[in-house]
Amino acid sequence: MRRDLVQFVNQNYINLETFRKTGRPVQTPVWFVSDPRGEIFYVRTAKSSGKVNRIRQNGRVNLMPCGQSGEPLGYWVLAHSREATDTATFGLVRTLLVEKYGDMVAMFEARAKESGQKYTVLMIRDIGE
């Protein structure tokens, strides 16, 4: 595994930094899962969230492992993100989320369903490149 990715191993949160049209950064701590090699990260989030809208405009993001409230646990690395659109990826991400976060996933899904919220998946690639 690449040295800049080792810092994300065994972490529960990443601080996902996206950028407004003005270029101003916005940092959001989020759950994440990764592919088996740890080179592609996935974030499942509300489809209407600000971070999704910002990524639609500009896929450049920065990532850092962090605590639940966003406190730094590593250093920033550059990456690129886009929305995943295929159902296979949605299924994979849900499975990975349940493996990593357990019953909390179902709790958040129930809340989202009650509020009519729809999810999307952000695929984060080219991390540190």
Q: What is the pLDDT of residues 40-49, one digit of tens each?
A: 999 999 999 9
Predicted confidence at residue 4, as pLDDT, reads 78
H-helix segments, 1-129 = 3-6, 50-57, 87-101, 103-115
Instruction: Domains for the chain: give ranges and CATH numbers.
Output: 3-125 (2.30.110.10)
Predicted confidence at residue 2, as pLDDT, reads 75
Band of residue 125 on the pLDDT scale cut at 50, 70, 90:
very high
pLDDT score of 38 more than 90: no
CA 88 to chain centre: 17
Band of residue 37 on the pLDDT scale cut at 50, 70, 90:
confident
Q: How far apart are alpha carbons 38 and 17 in whole angstroms?
A: 19
Q: Which of 81, 82, 62 shows the shortest CA–CA distance to 15?
A: 62
Band of residue 103 on the pLDDT scale cut at 50, 70, 90:
very high
Predicted confidence at residue 127, as pLDDT, reads 84
Percent of the chain at pLDDT > 70 equals 99
Q: How far apart are alpha carbons 73 and 7 in whole angstroms?
A: 8
- Whole-structure pTM over 0.85, yes or no? yes
Band of residue 36 on the pLDDT scale cut at 50, 70, 90:
confident
Q: Which of 117, 101, 99, 100 shows the shortest CA–CA distance to 109?
A: 117
Pair 32, 22: CB distance under 8 Å: no
